Copies of this chain bind each other. A is one copy, B any other.
Amino acid sequence: MSEEKRAKDQLKAHIRAQNEKLILEAAERVFARQGLTKTTTQMIADEAGLPKANIHYYFRSKKDLLEAVLGRILALWLNSVSQFKYEDGPKACLTRYISEKIEQSQNHVNASKVFAMALIGEEPYVLEYLREYFVGELKKESETIERWVEDGLMKPVPVEHLFISLWAMTQTYADFDAQVKILLRTPELDDEMYDDAKSFIKRMVFAVCGIDD
């Protein structure tokens, strides 16, 4: 009997995990397309191919669902960008960082937009995360950069403003892709355009840091 129960529980857990994933992915797409408030649970249900009541079965409220979506994005953000390693030196680390950030914009447009919307709307959930994790990350990176500066591997730069600029320049290709497409006169951004963005941003950053290109 207890074995039968365990099997049932496993099945239930599996169904739950599968449906939650389905809903979260559908929600991310709809939130990105429609904006956080304009999005209705009905739209998410339609996108997921489920009746609306099921959305509320898996996520108590729309707010809970949004926070779950944001949670996935924030975890992704934290894991998809490498930390600086002193031994690798500024050129390799900055190259990798810029490449990864642009690739993030390229491969996770929806996630980036939802994050941007939440940030511009000052969602407490996102601000809390920034305070908790991002400030700490930045501090580590700053210390590495300062050692590079001391050791004459690069010129001194205001580290906070450098990172603010790096995020702005890389994420703008996802968040404001509509504007970018208009300016580049293209219906879609292709690999070459992202590569051009990467190269240009690297050139700027290397130039200001006094790193030979």
Contacts and interface: CB of A to CB of B under 8 A. Distances in A.
Contact of A200 (B162, B169, B201, B207): B162
Interface stretch (A33-41, A48-56, A72-80, A89-97): A33-41
Interface stretch (A63-71, A144-152, A181-189): A181-189
Interface residues of A, number: 50
A131 B207 contact: no
Contact of A179 (B34, B35, B119, B172): B119
Copies in the complex: 2
Interface string A111-123: 0010011011110
A127 B168 CA distance: 20
Nearest to A175: B120
Contacts of A43: none
